[in-house]
Amino acid sequence: MAASASGSTPPPANPATADYPVRPVPFTAVRINGGFWQTRQAVNLAVTVPYAIKQCEDTGRLRNFDLAAETLRRRAAGETSFQNQPVTIYPFDDSDVYKVMEGIAYALHVKPDLALAARLEGWIARVAAAQEPDGYLYTFRTMHPDTPAHEWSDPQRWLKDPDLSHELYNLGHLYEAGVAHYQATGKRTLLDVCLRSAELLWRDFGDCKLRIAPGHQVIEMGLAKLHRVTGDPRWLALAKIFLEARGPGGPPYSQQHLPVTQQTAAVGHAVRANYMYAGMADVAALSADAAYVAAIGKIWDNVAGKKLSLTGGVGPLQHGEAYGADYELPNACYNETCAAIALMMWNNRMFLFTGDARYMDVLERTCYNGFISGVSLSGDRFFYPNPLVYDGVAQNNHGHAGRAPWFGCACCPPNLMRTLAALTGYFYAVCENSLYVNFYAQSEGTAEVGGVQVKLTQATDYPWDGRVRLTVSPEKPTAFTLRLRIPGWAQGRPVPSDLYVYTDEARPAWAVRVGGQAVTPALESGYALLTREWHDGDTVELDLPMPVHTVRGHPRIEAVRGTIAFERGPIVYAIEGAVNRTDPADLHVTARTKARAQRHPELLGDVVTLILDEIAAPEMTRQVTAIPYAVWNNRGLAPMAVWLKTEEK
Ligand code: FUB
Ligand code: ZN
């Protein structure tokens, strides 16, 4: 298929129809217009997007594409031994450019910007110029074709992908960007690059039956998106080929130890793992493969029951950036930002399969804690690992103490940027005559239920206040079931397992009113069901009380024995040494400790803090202030802890 520089090629013909039973309301149909996520999204657009663009340009990530293009040009012109050297460290640096492009595409939807759109087209032209005539795209090899430019790649294409070449990983991110750009602009400039690349994959892996297991997953989700947007069954078949190529006998690090349908626990590199589970969900949804669903269901039970940090982070081991053994959840954990993002993707897909709120409960926990912790309030400083304890000095953030301006291995910042730009895609979903409300946030959106457009307006100060006023306005009176997620935390369960429990007795009841009248809806799979004929302007008021909870970990989590943590609503709290003039490691929660919530509009971008009275400190009892975990290290370096020792041993 020929590239279209003008972007005037007609749109793909047959978008795929078979898919998840529950369909997400696209992020483009929902707009955040106040509160917590508006602040974070505004900073993302105003600061993080241009910052990530500049980093890709200044660090040479984009230049690698020009160098590859130059090699192609000069060799085609007869300089047959011409080669360029990459100007960055890793062969997967191409993927950062693709993730930033995807984020820009989403950002253009949230806020149209002609200059940004033009800049993106300029980048696309540079990427397209680096693509070899047969569709191959991987700058480190193309610019330096005679011998490997990096020890991770082989003279032959694909052969080192099961190990570390990241050729297919880069393409997975390229495909996600190409689809996002096509959907944002209607232009095929990047999609055509993707399709030329996918045609090559089909020739090599489909027709020629080369079988290798991608060393770093994400190509599966990328191919599923290509399939969705084009309706071409080959892209789905390729995704399945790549999944079926895994195991037995390969390294657990990259989930190649067993065939995917025989895997029952989360192992190895957490980003690879979670991307694979999400990819399996996509392939299962698009091809009705029950064996995949059964496998990821068991793996999910293993993660939610034994491998999830309180902050919703996963992959605690620095060595291998990996999942640990059951209950191996150290506080000085790794919990890469990308692993949190991948976990959100996977949980969203589990929800779309089942319509069960527990997956959204995990997604929410990750989102408000171990995900958004990855970017500073200023939008230009980042965490790669997201530990639950910090000593105030360690250079544990890939060589930096505290939040870093960027990384040599820069997977996390652009991943965070693209996720935040499209966050509203998690808010609502539809299945037949049911409309699911998963996120509570000041916003307005439109969902289509049974062919009828339904406008949804939320007025709320969530996550600081659990009262939500939802106005439901169908374009004509329509009967359907509104499913309001009643978070596990509002039902006395921090997580959908026994991994963490609340130790306090506070269990205030949640309540719903429709048109001002109290109702007692049935609860099904974590949703309060409101079935009626809805009329323009109908109101639903949800009240999710937010007492301060104390949390204890499962006795088998060694690191948190004899400690407790504090939560309120979906927010996990941390004690930061700077304001409290002490190392949280020296503090003890006593039987007399009382916690109360206090709103601080002027602090840390507007937060609710917890005032903890009667905390035992060396030689005295005192008051300390806990802040939301996600905003720690926005005021300089200081020790931090989520889990505090209790007086009783
Ligand atoms: O290997 C590519 C990316 O770099 C991974 O997703 C991250 O964990 C980091 O290792
Ligand atoms: Zn990362």
Distance from residue 135's CA to the centre of ligand 1 (Å): 24
* Percent with pLDDT over 90 in the chain: 94
99-134 residues labelled b (16+ CB within 10 A) or e (exposed):
bbbbbbbbbbbbeeeeebbeebbebbbbbbebbbee
Q: Which atom of ligand 1 is nearest to the CA of 269?
A: 8
Identify the pLDDT of residue 647.
Answer: 83
Q: Which ligand is nearest to the CA of 272?
A: 1
Q: Which atom of ligand 1 is nearest to the CA of 92?
A: 2
| 448 neighbors 435 (Cβ within 8 angstroms) | no
Pocket of ligand 1 (CB under 6 A): 92, 216, 271, 321, 336, 338, 409, 411
Structure-token pair, residue 478: 């329509």
Q: Which atom of ligand 1 is nearest to the CA of 216?
A: 1
**Cβ contacts of 67 within 8 Å, gap of 6 or more:** 84, 85, 86, 87, 139, 143
Give the separation between CA 214 and CA 605, rounded to whole angstroms: 41
Q: What share of the chain is helix, strand, coil (3-state, %, to 5)?
A: 40, 20, 40
Distance from residue 386's CA to the centre of ligand 2 (Å): 11
1: closest CA among 126, 178, 142? 178
Test site for ligand 1: of 166, 411, 419, most ligand atoms within 8 A of the Cβ: 411
Q: Is the pLDDT of residue 8 over 60?
A: no
pLDDT (tens digit per residue) in 314-356? 999 999 999 999 999 999 999 999 999 999 999 999 999 999 9
Distance from residue 171's CA to the centre of ligand 2 (Å): 17
Question: By mean pLDDT, which of 10-19, 235-244, 294-303 is the weakest?
Answer: 10-19
Test site for ligand 1: of 95, 409, 416, most ligand atoms within 8 A of the Cβ: 409
For 402-428, give the secondary structure using H, E and C. CCECCCCCCCHHHHHHHHHHCHHHHCE
Residue nearest to atom 8 of ligand 1 (CA): 271
Q: Is the pLDDT of residue 473 over 70?
A: yes
Q: Is the pLDDT of residue 207 over 90?
A: no
Q: Is the pLDDT of residue 159 over 50?
A: yes
Distance from residue 407's CA to the centre of ligand 1 (Å): 12
Q: Which atom of ligand 1 is nearest to the CA of 270?
A: 8
Q: C-alpha angle with apex 133: 127 to 135, nearest 5 degrees?
A: 65
Provide the H-helix boundaries in 186-314.
Answer: 189-201, 219-230, 233-244, 270-287, 290-306
Confidence class of residue 15 from pLDDT cuts 50, 70 and 90? low
- DSSP three-state, residue 347: helix
Give the separation between CA 297 and CA 115, rounded to whole angstroms: 45
Residue nearest to atom 6 of ligand 1 (CA): 271
Confidence class of residue 648 from pLDDT cuts 50, 70 and 90? low
Q: Domain extents for the chain?
A: 33-209, 428-485+509-543, 548-646
How far from chain centre, in Å, is Cα 542? 27
Distance from residue 262's CA to the centre of ligand 1 (Å): 25
Distance from residue 108's CA to the centre of ligand 2 (Å): 24
Q: C-alpha angle with apex 616: 612 to 618, nearest 5 degrees?
A: 135
Give the separation between CA 206 and CA 127, rounded to whole angstroms: 25
Distance from residue 16's CA to the centre of ligand 2 (Å): 30
- DSSP three-state, residue 640: strand
What's the Cα-to-Cα distance from 294 to each of 224, 250, 256, 420, rounded to whole Å? 19, 22, 18, 30
Distance from residue 5's CA to the centre of ligand 1 (Å): 32
| 574 neighbors 581 (Cβ within 8 angstroms) | no
Give the separation between CA 437 and CA 426, rounded to whole angstroms: 9
Q: Is the pLDDT of residue 364 over 80?
A: yes
| 390 neighbors 14 (Cβ within 8 angstroms) | no
Mean pLDDT of the chain: 96
415: closest CA among 3, 97, 157? 97
- DSSP three-state, residue 343: helix
| 624 neighbors 638 (Cβ within 8 angstroms) | no
Identify the pLDDT of residue 433.
Answer: 96
Identify the pLDDT of residue 16.
Answer: 62
Quickly list DSSP for 601-617. Answer: TTSTTSEEEEEEEEEEE
Q: Tell the CATH superfamily of the 428-485+509-543 domain.
A: Golgi alpha-mannosidase II (2.60.40.1180)
Q: Which atom of ligand 1 is nearest to the CA of 409?
A: 4
Identify the pLDDT of residue 14.
Answer: 56
Identify the pLDDT of residue 6.
Answer: 35
Q: Is the pLDDT of residue 286 over 70?
A: yes
Test site for ligand 1: of 269, 337, 419, most ligand atoms within 8 A of the Cβ: 269
Q: Which ligand is nearest to the CA of 214?
A: 1
Instruction: Write out the H or E segment, with its range, that includes residue 118.
Output: helix 114-129
Distance from residue 224's CA to the centre of ligand 2 (Å): 22
Q: Is the pLDDT of residue 213 over 90?
A: yes
Q: Which atom of ligand 1 is nearest to the CA of 321?
A: 8
Q: Which atom of ligand 1 is nearest to the CA of 164?
A: 1
- Sheet (strand 517-519) strand order: 30-32, 443-449, 452-460, 467-474, 538-543, 511-514, 517-519
